[in-house]
């Protein structure tokens, strides 16, 4: 049923319907509304889960690790500094192959302190082994949680996942969302039944010491699971489409890209603004299209190379910067197109909540034809 609600509440409701058995999280702007809502659900009896209150994010994810290893469906949510405080456990959760789902209301990292949106937080943990989904709107932010649980808990994957959506821009936005029912979700998402779990009657260990004779193979297995996730996402995304009418089988999506000369590549809520800008540019006779990345880990390199094979140029938008190098998406798109003659230019923009307008997208398209290579877009020169 279509309802108008805040992004955070839509996400909290979706998580409730997924029936997590253990939730542990620590409030942090702009994620707070999600965990407040979940705490309410548990207190009201609307969610039969253990809500573990903790003193910080490091403890929150540590509690999730224990719960997940014991065989519980486990959920957390955080952003920005909170995610950085978790970082050690983020890597451990993936290495222990624990399918914890965590919402990230994307926010910039300090210093300087910023509560506003960019994607530096989750992108900075791209090497951790977690699957990474990025939502364009609150419908996707909601739906991707179901998909994430289904894929992460698949016994051929067993990796945790971030479901990322832009802080404030989506988390605090009221807009209509088609909310699924408990019956729908129960049909889609089976009970969590891990291949291995902690059991006092049949003791095993998670996160063992791996000597140099073993460690490399552990990492290889994780990488293989990431790669297998492409097919599992395709299958689970198709099933979602068959059941609810929204197909998430593709890791990337094209918008007016079939005959485009210029392709913009982007992730997250900015894709909506890009689509509106593209419609206006198309009306003006410009052949511009969008390639939206919905899944950043596993990275859909082959799919991107195929979808961009006909374009004359690519402009990649990054709300993150690997300082001293470039935006993460630009690097990986260029890597995906290695061997082709298609020029890829990267634009770092929107950091720390700097607003991105349609006219910015149009200017970037113009720059991609004749401007300099990789650059920060929209710098206030008077401040430098």
Partner 1 sequence: MRELRIHGRGGQGSVTAAELIAVAAFEGGVFAQAFPAFGVERRGAPVQAFVRLDNKKIRLRSQVYEPDYIIVQDSTLIKDVNVFMGVKKGGIVIVNTEKKPDYVIPEGVKLITIDATSIALKAIGLPITNTSLMGAFAAATGEIQFFALEKALNHRFPKELASKNIAAARIAFDIVKGAA
Shorter beta-carbon distance to partner 1: residue 4 or 366: 4
Q: Which C-beta is closer to partner 1: that of 66 or that of 353?
A: 353
- Smallest distance, Å, CB 34 to partner 1? 16
Strands of the 161-166 sheet, one edge to the other: 50-53, 22-25, 74-78, 101-106, 161-166, 131-134, 295-297
For residues 121 and 137, which CB has a smaller minimum distance to partner 1 in the complex?
Answer: 137
Q: Which two tokens stand for residue 369?
A: 């034809």
Three-state DSSP at 86 gives helix
Query: Looking at beta carbons only, is 91 or 244 nearer to partner 1?
Result: 244
DSSP 97-142: T---EEEEEE---SSSP--S--SHHHHTTTTSS-EEEE-SSHHHHH
Quick one: 236 or 349, whose CB is closer to partner 1? 349
Q: Which long-range contacts (CB under 8 A, 24 or more apart) does 65-69 make?
A: 65/89, 65/92, 65/93, 65/96, 65/98, 65/100, 67/21, 67/22, 67/24, 68/22, 68/93, 68/98, 68/99, 68/100, 68/160, 69/96, 69/98, 69/197, 69/198, 69/206
Residue 116 CB, nearest approach to partner 1 (Å):
8
Minimum CB distance to partner 1, residue 289 (Å)? 15
CA proximity to 148, closest of 133, 136, 134: 133
Q: Which helix (H) or strand (E) holds 40?
A: helix 32-44
Question: CA nearest 169: which of 101, 120, 118?
Answer: 118
User: For residues 61 and 349, which CB has a smaller minimum distance to partner 1 in the complex?
Assistant: 349
Q: Which residues bind partner 1 (CB under 8 A)?
A: 4, 6, 29, 115, 137, 166, 168-169, 172-176, 269-273, 275-276, 355-358
> Nearest approach, Cβ of 270 to partner 1 (angstroms)?
7
Give the shortest CB-26-to-partner 1 separation in angstroms: 18
CB of 100 to partner 1, least distance (A): 29
Closer CB to partner 1, 194 or 350, in the complex: 350
Question: Measured from the CB of residue 191, what is the shortest distance to partner 1 in angstroms?
Answer: 34
């Amino acid at each position: 049923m279509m309802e108008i609600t805040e992004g955070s509440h839509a996400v909290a409701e979706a998580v409730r319907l997924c029936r997590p058995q253990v939730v542990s999280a620590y409030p942090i702007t702009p994620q707070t509304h999600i965990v407040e809502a979940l705490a309410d659900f548990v207190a009201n009896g609307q969610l039969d889960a253990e809500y573990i209150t903790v003193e910080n994010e490091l403890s929150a994810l540590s509690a999730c690790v224990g719960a997940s290893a014991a065989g519980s469906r486990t959920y957390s949510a955080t952003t920005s500094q909170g995610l950085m405080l978790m970082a050690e456990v983020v890597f451990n959760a993936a290495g222990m192959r624990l399918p914890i789902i965590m919402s990230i209301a994307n926010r910039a990292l300090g210093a300087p302190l910023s509560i506003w949106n960019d994607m530096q937080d989750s992108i900075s943990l791209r090497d951790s082994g977690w699957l990474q989904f990025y939502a364009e709107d609150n419908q996707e932010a909601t739906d991707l949680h179901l998909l994430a649980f289904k894929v992460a808990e698949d016994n051929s994957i067993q990796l945790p996942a971030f479901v990322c959506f832009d802080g404030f821009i989506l988390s605090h936005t009221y807009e209509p969302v088609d909310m699924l029912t408990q019956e729908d979700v129960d049909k889609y998402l089976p009970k969590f039944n891990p291949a291995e779990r902690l059991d006092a009657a049949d003791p095993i260990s998670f996160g063992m010491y791996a000597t140099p004779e073993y460690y490399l193979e552990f990492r290889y297995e994780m990488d293989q699971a990431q790669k297998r996730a492409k097919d599992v996402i395709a299958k689970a995304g198709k099933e979602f489409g068959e059941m609810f009418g929204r197909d998430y089988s593709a890791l990337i999506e094209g918008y007016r890209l079939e005959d485009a000369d210029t392709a913009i590549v982007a992730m997250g809520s900015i894709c909506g603004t890009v689509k509106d800008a593209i419609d206006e540019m198309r009306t003006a006779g410009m052949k511009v299209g969008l390639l939206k990345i919905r899944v950043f880990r596993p990275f859909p390199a082959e799919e991107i190379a195929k979808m961009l094979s006909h374009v004359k140029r690519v402009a990649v938008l990054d709300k993150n910067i690997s300082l001293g190098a470039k935006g993460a998406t630009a690097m990986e798109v260029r890597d995906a197109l290695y061997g082709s003659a298609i020029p890829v230019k990267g634009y770092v923009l929107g950091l720390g909540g700097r607003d991105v307008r349609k006219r910015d997208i149009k200017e970037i398209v113009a720059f991609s034809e004749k401007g300099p290579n990789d650059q920060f877009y929209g710098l206030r020169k008077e401040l430098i």
